[in-house]
Amino acid sequence: MNRKNQISYAIVGATGIVGIEIARLLIERDLAEPRNIILVASQKSVGEKIPNITKKLENHRCISIEDALTLSPMFVLMSAGEDVSKEWAKKFTKSGAVVIDNSSAWRKKPDVPLVVPTITQWDKESKLISVPNCVAVMLSIALRNILLDNRVESIYADVYQSVSGAGKDGVTALEIENATNKYWHGSPFDGKIANNILPLPGEEKKVTFEIPKIFNERNTQNIIATCNRVPINRGHSANVRITGKFELKDLIQNITNSYNVVYTSKQRGPSETIGKELVFVTNIRERPDGSFNLFVTSDNALVGAASILVDILQEII
Q: Is there a contact between 136 and 214 (Cβ–Cβ < 8 Å)?
A: yes
In this prediction, residue 1 carries a pLDDT of: 43
Is 171:189 a contact under the CB 8 Å cutoff? no
State the DSSP H helix or E strand holding residue 19, giving kind and residue range, or none if neither.
Answer: helix 17-28
Spell out the per-residue pLDDT of the chain, length 317, in tens.
466 778 999 999 999 999 999 999 999 999 999 999 999 999 999 999 998 889 999 999 999 999 999 999 999 999 999 999 999 999 999 999 999 999 999 999 999 999 999 999 999 999 999 999 999 999 999 999 988 877 888 999 999 999 999 999 999 999 999 999 999 999 999 999 999 999 998 899 999 999 999 998 766 668 899 999 999 999 999 999 999 888 999 999 999 999 999 999 888 899 999 999 999 999 999 999 999 999 999 999 999 999 999 999 999 98
Q: Taking a C-beta distance cutoff of 8 angstroms, is the pair 101, 89 a contact?
A: yes
**What domains lie within the chain, and their CATH numbers?**
3-105 (3.40.50.720), 136-300 (3.30.360.10)
What angle, 0 to 180 degrees and rounded to 10, lies between the N-to-C axes of helices 134-142 and 201-214?
Answer: 50
Q: Please, which residues bridge with residue 157 across strands? A: 225, 240
Distance in angstroms (rounded) separating the CA atoms of residues 191 and 188: 9
Radius of gyration for the alpha carbons in the chain, expressed in angstroms and rounded: 20
Q: Which residues have CB under 8 Å from 13's CB, separation 6+?
A: 19, 40, 41, 78, 79, 80, 81, 84, 102
